[in-house]
Amino acid sequence: MEDSAKAYWSATLGLLTKILIVWFLVSFGAGILFAPALNSIHLGGYPLGFWFAQQGAMYIFIALIFYYRKKMGEIDRQFDVHEE
Amino acid sequence: MELQTTIYLVVGATFALYIAIALWARAGTTSDFYAAGGQVGPVMNGMAIGADWMSAASFISMAGLISNMGYGGGLFLMGWTGGYVLLAMLLAPYLRKFGKFTVPQFIGDRFYSKSASTVAVLCLLVASLTYIIGQMTGVGVAFSRFLGVTSETGIYVGMGIVFVYAVFGGMKGITYTQVAQYCVLISAYIIPAIFISIQLTGNPVPQLGLGSNIVGQDVSLLHKLDLVVSDLGFANYTTSDAGGMLNMFVYTMSLMIGTAGLPHVIMRFFTVPTVAAARSSAGWALIFIGLLYTTAPAVAAMAKTNLLRTITPGVVMGNADPYAADSQLVYAERPDWMKRWEKTGLLKWEDKNGDGRIQYYNDKSKNDAFKAKAEGAGWKGNELTVNADIIVLANPEIALLPDWVIALVAAGGLAAALSTAAGLLMAISAAISHDLIKNVFVPDISEKNELLAGKISMAVAIVIAGYLGLNPPGFAAGTVALAFGIAASSLFPAIMMGIFSKKMNKEGAISGMLAGLFVTLFYVFAAKGIFFIKGTEYVDLIGGPNSFFGITPEAFGAIGACVNFAVAFIVDKMTPEPPEHIQAMVESVRIPRGSGAVSGAH
């Protein structure tokens, strides 16, 4: 039980870390730090860095939360700690 | 039908709807009052979170801010949405599993200390009260601009409406009215945006229209906007950042963790039946919020384009020379909407060079080439001042939309302000009746009396909020930044450590919260005065404005949060571990199984 609880928590932390890396890359990375470089690429009429800061990051945030919900549900069932 | 009559009808109909919902959703138990009985579905809760979150500032002011800031305005968009990823993964599911009514209760129980919970109540009250002033003034503004009454009358009417559904319905009444208010505010925001996008780009989806070409031209809207604003001496629209890259980075981070730590939003996650439902509500909430937040940058850029098109039609819609005398609009021939907004004082024109035409440009530009051109054209300074709020409020008129759309925007602005005010009032009254009265002063209070105490604190909070709205303290403008700074530097780190660090003890958490709060307030007060009182600024003492690596006071919450974490871990290492049963409690909060209904038991 003790070991299973530890394994569950480290699986959870692993998932959170992966998601936070993407979260950081799309907003602080593409939207701010690399925005000037990305602006030379165009997505339709959008300079890419500008697009990430004012559109793209938000779409990816939504996708991240639903991905988290799905994966977390799988981890819950795998370690048998899901709700009835 | 006259415009005024239409506005009264539409706004009146939405108010009648809110009151009808209030009568239907009355709170009979403390569980109804604090957590809507714990039976709200994730989609409904997502909508309610959306309305709770999107305030008068989001609805009325944000697009205008982005319009002025250009690319740098993206910090509001990323900051206020990215926080939901943190909230969804780091806080909401665990706080829901913990299963109590309020945020201070979690902090008090987890850190086995009434002082910890009292510090949290204090942070909550300051953050929520400062935030609510903006909502109340927003209600007043919407009333006075659209309904032709004074803003005082507007605030009284707004207080009355909130009173009906918040006092009798508690969280239950607030939840269902927020769902209705979300629908009103989102249609009020998106319908004008669709029309404007079609007019300018031919694309009905504003998010795509912003990346499209201007109608009849082979140049994209954003590129054209870049060209026109730099011709007028402003910074390039798509690249102008907000106070440098580092400041933008830290500002965005502060808004994100501030968002995740605001108690009135966290509380909404206590209304769903399960941990899984808490996770999905965050996703739904961000979809509903994202609808407005991804539309806002389109509104911002398009409204700016429309404004410039009104003043210099040939330059925006063709390739006319911006410095030629006949490129600028003759003041006497200005459109009706400009005349209407001039009356409100939000739009002002002053003919500095006496040519009867409107010159709108950046007269503070440091670019010598531009200054020479402006001088050569005989410009004697910028002649038009445009308040940022016009960008959203006058949008339907600029685009010549029918009266009912204008009425809808009025109702939308009111819905945004009222729904956020109600959520904040809920957080305030729960902190007083549950965390102070029940937890500290009268622990053996009966359920019935606690419900009564909750309703009385709600009523008192409404009166205080109304008073502050009627007599806004001089510091009203800086207050929202303060609310985010407090949430980011004190509440977010404390809750997060409570879940993710099993060994964090009360000494660590309390000193962390106080240190984070102190550092943030110290930096903000240095620039804006102690408690925002004029004349008490001590900015020279800390080495001048933005002396900490050029970071502005508004952006400082993230630094406060770092201080909080650091102090907490150092103190934690020097003081005894938390007791066994607390560590066991953290273990149980981390797994979803066994989540019960939320309750107020201690």
Stretch among B216-225, B292-301, B339-348 having the lowest mean pLDDT: B339-348
Residue B533: what pLDDT? 67
Which residue blocks in B147-267 are alpha helix, DSSP H?
151-201, 206-209, 221-231, 245-261, 263-266
User: Tens digits of per-residue pLDDT, A14-34?
Assistant: 999 999 999 999 999 999 999
Q: Do B283 and A16 touch (CB under 8 A)?
A: no
pLDDT of B474 above 60: no
**From the list A36, A61, A83, which residue is nearest B85 (CB)?**
A61
Instruction: Tell me, yes or no, if A55 comes closer than 8 A to chain B by beta carbon.
Output: yes
Question: B275 to chain A: which residues are within 8 Å by CB?
Answer: 83
User: Tens digits of per-residue pLDDT, B359-386?
Assistant: 888 888 888 888 888 888 888 888 888 8
Residue B546: what pLDDT? 75
Nearest to B174 by CA among B287, B39, B262, B51: B51
DSSP secondary structure of B505-535 = -HHHHHHHHHHHHHHHHHHHHHHH-GGG-TT
Residue found under tokens 């009835």: A84
The one-letter amino acid code at B349 reads W
Higher pLDDT: B476 or B473? It is: B473
DSSP SS3 for B386: strand
Residue A84: what pLDDT? 75
pLDDT of B145 above 80: no
Stretch among B192-196, B201-205, B321-325 having the lowest mean pLDDT: B321-325
Question: B297 to chain A: which residues are within 8 Å by CB?
Answer: 54-55
Q: Do A62 and B290 touch (CB under 8 A)?
A: yes
Residue A23: what pLDDT? 96
Give B479's pLDDT tier (boundaries 50, 70, 90). low
| DSSP one-letter code for B354 | S
Give B343's pLDDT tier (boundaries 50, 70, 90). confident
Q: Do A83 and B274 touch (CB under 8 A)?
A: yes
For the segment B343-349, the average pLDDT, to the nearest whole number, is: 81
Stretch among A22-36, B278-292, B340-354, B579-593 having the lowest mean pLDDT: B340-354
CA distance A28 to chain B (A): 7
Residue B534: what pLDDT? 66
Domain parsing of chain B, residue ranges: 18-304+399-590, 313-388
ipTM for the whole complex: 0.95
The Cβ of residue B405 has, within 10 Å, a number of other Cβ atoms equal to: 19
**From the list A43, A53, A84, which residue is nearest B78 (CB)?**
A53
For the segment B452-474, the average pLDDT, to the nearest whole number, is: 83
- B347, two tokens: 């739009």
For the segment B410-427, the average pLDDT, to the nearest whole number, is: 88
CA distance A83 to chain B (A): 5
Give A63's pLDDT tier (boundaries 50, 70, 90). very high
Residue B56: what pLDDT? 81
Residue found under tokens 């952006």: B555
CA distance B280 to chain A (A): 6
For the segment B218-240, the average pLDDT, to the nearest whole number, is: 86
Residue A53: what pLDDT? 93
**From the list A47, A58, A73, which residue is nearest B81 (CB)?**
A58
Higher pLDDT: B150 or B457? It is: B457
User: Tens digits of per-residue pLDDT, B63-90?
Assistant: 888 988 899 999 999 999 999 999 999 9
CA distance A37 to chain B (A): 11
Residue B532: what pLDDT? 65
For the segment B123-147, the average pLDDT, to the nearest whole number, is: 82
* The architecture CATH gives domain B18-304+399-590: Up-down Bundle (1.20)
Q: Do B89 and A19 touch (CB under 8 A)?
A: yes
Classify residue B256 as exposed, middle or buried by CB count within 10 Å of its CB (0-12, 13-18, 19+). buried
Give B183's pLDDT tier (boundaries 50, 70, 90). very high
Residue B334: what pLDDT? 87
User: Tens digits of per-residue pLDDT, B21-59?
Assistant: 888 888 778 888 888 878 888 899 999 999 999 988 888
B351-354, long-range: CB < 8 A, 24+ apart: B351/B383, B352/B379, B352/B380, B352/B381, B352/B383, B353/B378, B353/B379, B353/B380, B353/B381, B353/B383
pLDDT of B478 above 60: no
For the segment B213-217, the average pLDDT, to the nearest whole number, is: 85
Domain parsing of chain A, residue ranges: 2-78
Q: Do B238 and A62 touch (CB under 8 A)?
A: no
The one-letter amino acid code at B71 reads Y
| DSSP one-letter code for B385 | E
Question: A81 to chain B: which residues are within 8 Å by CB?
Answer: 591-593
For the segment A68-78, the average pLDDT, to the nearest whole number, is: 94
Distance CA B141, CA B147 (A): 10
pLDDT of B545 above 80: no
pLDDT of A1 above 70: no
Residue B181: what pLDDT? 92
Distance CA B182, CA B187 (A): 8
